[in-house]
Structures are given as structure tokens and as C-alpha cells.
Chain A
Amino acid sequence: MLWIALALVLLAALGAPFFALIAAIALLGFHAQGYEPALVAVEIYRLAEMPVLVAIPLFTLAGYLLSESQAPRRLVRLTEAWFGWMPGGLAIVALVASALFTALTGASGVTIVALGAVLFPALLHGRYRENFSLGLITASGSLGMLFAPALPLIIYGVVAQQLNTTPGVRMEELFLAGILPGLLMLLVLAVYSIWQAPRDVERASFRWSEALAALKEARWELPLPILVLGGIYSGRIAPSEAAAVTALYVFLVTVVIRREVAFSRLPQVVREAMMLVGGLLVILGAAFALTNYLIDAEIPTRLFEWVQAHVHSRAVFMLALVVFLLLFGMLLEGYPAIVVLTPLILPIAIGYGMDPVHFGILFIALLQIGLFMAPLGMNLFIASYRFRKPVTVVIRDSLPFFVLLLLTALVITFVPQLSLALLDRG
């Protein structure tokens, strides 16, 4: 048993794909419980049985099509026209644009690479200090996962629903619950940016003509938030239907009306998007099997009893949870952490009186911060690679942002009302 565990940890460290590792644990677990391996396949086949999963390729396609078009540039122009006059305006532009981009594509590293390429030089040009700018771009990949239709929210929802918790976890509730905590993270970094903004430069003054022109230029993109958010947040249509409408609309705008994504580019773009989806869904499929094994072997229950015997105070449990989730967010890069840890920890969290929706929000908030936590957070290396700075410099420059977001995450953890206020149950 110990040897198998050690071998798997070693393989993970050597770079084995997460789906293979998770599937291996599930296969071994099913074998130990005396079940046929075909039952693992039954679990993976559930990828074809859940209506909500159709939303994942659709939203991803929409995100990739948008990022291939001129929409990111228009987004930057629009936010600049409306916020650029404020002190720290450009930094706020970077934060808001990155959050929206991550929410749509669900890929935080892509945000740093795609938007950072535009925003980093722009910040330097606007006379922001270089270490502030680098830190900001690195941290900006860690915003936006709490806003619909970000994939981490959907994945958490799907996995949590497997556990049949009381109270349950509904997708619309998760989407609503993410809004205020997500905005708080943005607000904290925006205030810090205003404080850090260069004071001696002349800022562009607000001009109605530019503001309206930017608005007009973005007229096709403007209905999108209403389509996505209105559809999902109203709870009137299912996430998969909102995804279908969004994807079709984005396709029509980027390929047919604006023609910014050429027809000949389409196979490339779809391929890139589907590689992400495929990589994600095989992990999820393997995780269905793992969850099933864990529940069958009563491992969450035993884990809960063990924790309860050792941790008596709720506050201590929650602090330990914060440290644990940050660490795993750093090591497992988001999605694998969600699918593996949710079945193990959610039952314990509920045992300590936490709401499963609130747990999901703080879980994702901590995971996205873990993405740029020293020393191993993935985004540190992406930023280091993209902007040709030593990792140590990236770590130093992003540290103030990390501390601020960590404090915000503690608030999100210890003030459940922030997540639950917009819900009926709040």
C-alpha cells in the first residue's frame, strides 16, 4: 500500500499525466474492493450522461474564438476609455480585462501570455514601475475564476453534485456566490494599484467622444455579458443552454459578421480549444471513478472521524484548510486539485458546519492564489518565461499582490455571508 502510494507520488513528480494517475488509483481501488475494471469504464462513460458537461466544450470554444479575434484589443480600449482617466486607471484596466478573459477561457496561464503581451508594455509605457507591473501581470492570472462561466466553478459543481450533500450544490447558486468574493479580490488589487500608480504623469482625461467610440466599436461584444450572465444568473435557462447561445453568438460574430477569425484558421482554433477540453474531461472522467471508489471505501467518512478526533475548533480547521488548499493549489495546478480534493474534503467541511457552496468559492479562491504562490506556482514560471525575468524576481515582485489576495481569501473563508448573501439560503 505504502509502496504503491510512493510510486504514484514519484510518477506525479516525474510528470505523469494527472488523468493516468487518477485512473490508476481508481483502478487499484476498484480492484481492492473486488469490482471489475469495466466499472471504471462505466464511470468514465458518465461524461456522456451529464447535460451540464456539454457547456464545457461550448464555453471553451467561445473563449478561444474571442481570444483569436480582435475582442481583447477592443476590451482594453473600452476599459481604458472609461477607466483610463482615474489614477491607476491603466492598472485597473489590466485587472478587469484579465479577470474577464480568465472567466471566459478558464485558462489562467493563457491570460498572462495573451493579455500580458499587450498590458505589460502598456504599463511600462504609462510609467508604472517595472516591478509593480510584472507583479500585477503575474497576479492578474489569478483573478476571474470566480465569475461565470469560468470552468473551475462548473467542474467543482459537477464533482460536488456527485457527493449528494445536504444542502445540495446548484450550478446557478455557485455562479451567484462567486460574484461578491470575485469583485472583492478585484477591488483590493484596484485600490492597491491606485495607491501605487505613478503620480507625476499626465493621465489621459476622460473624453466622451472616445468613450462612445470605444463603446460603438465593441457593440457586437456588449450583448455577451448579458447573454452569458443574464442567462445563467437568472437561473431561467440551464448552463448548457446559455453556453450554446453564447458559443453560437460568438461564432456568428467572430467568423461570419466581423470575419476576424478566418475560416481557414477555424480548424486550428477548434483543435486548441478541444485539446484543453479533452485534457480536462479525461481527468474528470477518471475522477468520477475515483470519487465512486472513495465513497464506496468510506474514506471521506474515516478521514472526517480522524480530523474530528484531532481538530476540535472550527477556526483551527478552517485555517488548516486554507494552508492545505493553497499548497495543493500550488502543486496540482487547479483542475486536478478540484477533482481529487473535493470528494475528500467537502464532507469534512460540511461536518464542521460549512455550506458546500461557500466551500466551493473559498476553495477556488485559494486555488487561484496558489497558482502564483512561491516557490512552485505555475504562473510564476509562465510569467518568468514570457517576460524573460528570473523566477526569483517574479516571486519578489508579485509578493505584495500575493499577500493582499491571501488576506482577501481569508476574509472570503471566514465571512461566509460574502458568498451566500446573493443566495436565498444566505
Chain B
Amino acid sequence: MSLRQRLHRIEDLVLAVMGIGLLLLAGLQVCLRAFGGGVEWFDPLLRTMTLWLAMLGALVATREGRHLHIDLLARRLAERFGAWPGRLVLLFSTAVCVVLAQASYELVKLEYEGGAAAFAAVPNWLAMAILPLAFAWMALRFALQMIWPATAEPHA
């Protein structure tokens, strides 16, 4: 198994564990609440997990070229002009993700200095850290796709 495949495996695994984790925790919280209990920091934890799931899901969608986009013209143009229109789009996507990664890094830095807690003992900046990480990773992925195009992986 190549390093790249191994990396994809890990991403998928984290996504799966976190998705099932969200399902179980959210269910548990509702059950606890029905009996008058409920853990206070579960709610912010669930919200943070939603953000992480969203960003990791977007990361995997990037890997497979599955972000929502207008598909029709792109396919026609690719037939006509080859890979160049696609590369232009990838360049644009890379640039946007670089700016977003940097912007969210600034935010994380500010939070780190501010030092508020998101939930339990987890500080806000750590909950936010997925933003710069995922956007930087996506930027890298879009950039690499200019050379090696994205492929949807076959379903197991």
C-alpha cells in the first residue's frame, strides 16, 4: 500500500469513527436528558464534532473531485480544450483555500492568545484548529490535482 493510499485510509477511518461517535454521543445525550440528566459539555462537543466532520468530509470530497459544482460545460470544454480549463479552476480553488487557511490560522492564533475554553478542558483554539489544517490540506490537494487529476475511488 502506498503512502498516499495509507493516508486516504486514515482519513476515511477518522471520518467513520467520528461520524459513528457523533451518532452515539448525540443519542446518549438525548436519552440522558429524557431522564433529567444530560452532560453539559456534550452539546459544545457535538457542535465541534459537526465542524470537524464537515471539514474532513470536504477534504475527502476534494480528494475525489466531488465538491458541488456546475458539471456540464466543464465536461464539454474538457473534450474540446483538454486539461487546461480544469487546471485554471484548480488554480483558483488552490488560491482560495490558501487564503482561507491563512485567515483561519490568524483566528486560531488570536484565540490561542485569548485562551477561552470551548468545552470541558478543551480550549477554543484547538476546536478551531481544524479550519487552517483542512483548508491548507485542501489547497495542497487542489494544487497536486493540477498534475494528477482527482479520481473517485471505486466502492468496496
Q: Which residues of A contact B (CB under 8 A)?
A: 11-20, 23-24, 27, 36-42, 44-45, 47-51, 53-54, 56-58, 61, 237, 240-241, 243-245, 247-248, 251, 265-268, 270-271, 273-283, 285, 331-333, 335-336, 376, 378, 381
Contact = CB atoms under 8 A, between A and B. Distances in A.
A273 B69 CA distance: 18
B133 interface: no
A280 B64 CA distance: 15
Contact of B107 (A23, A42, A283): A42
Given A282-B58, A333-B70, 12 more contacts: A11-B88, A12-B69, A20-B96, A24-B92, A37-B99, A45-B51, A49-B47, A53-B47, A58-B23, A244-B23, A278-B57, A281-B51
Contact residues on B (Cβ < 8 Å of other chain), bracket: 35 or more
A245 B92 CA distance: 41
Most buried by B among A19, A23, A273, A376: A19
B interface majority secondary structure? helix
A58 B47 CA distance: 12
Interface string B46-59: 11101101111111
A248 B24 contact: yes
A241 B22 CA distance: 12
Contacts of B155: 268
B103 interface: yes
A117 to B, nearest CB: 15
B143 interface: no
Given A20-B97, A248-B27, A376-B72, A15 B86 contact: yes
A37 B106 contact: yes
A277 B53 CA distance: 8
B73 interface: yes
A336 to B, nearest CB: 6
B26 interface: yes
A34 to B, nearest CB: 15
A280 B57 CA distance: 9
Contacts of B68: 17-19, 279-280, 283, 333, 335-336
19 contacts: A14-B74, A16-B92, A17-B68, A18-B67, A37-B99, A41-B103, A41-B104, A45-B104, A45-B128, A243-B26, A251-B27, A267-B15, A268-B156, A271-B15, A274-B53, A274-B57, A276-B57, A278-B61, A281-B58
B90 to A, nearest CB: 9
B88 A48 contact: no
A332 B47 CA distance: 28
A47 B15 contact: no
Interface of B: 12-13, 15-16, 19-20, 22-24, 26-27, 29-30, 33, 43, 46-48, 50-51, 53-61, 64, 66-74, 77, 85-86, 88-89, 92-93, 96-97, 99-100, 102-104, 106-107, 110, 127-128, 131, 155-156
Given A19-B58, A40-B100, A57 B22 contact: yes
A335 B67 CA distance: 12
Contacts of B70: 12-13, 15, 331-333
A274 B97 contact: no
A47 B93 contact: no
B72 A41 contact: no
A41 B131 contact: yes
A192 to B, nearest CB: 29
A37 B16 CA distance: 32
A15 B69 contact: yes
A54 B60 contact: no
B151 to A, nearest CB: 14
Contact of A279 (B43, B67, B73, B99): B67
A243 B30 CA distance: 10
B12 A271 contact: yes
Nearest to A279: B61
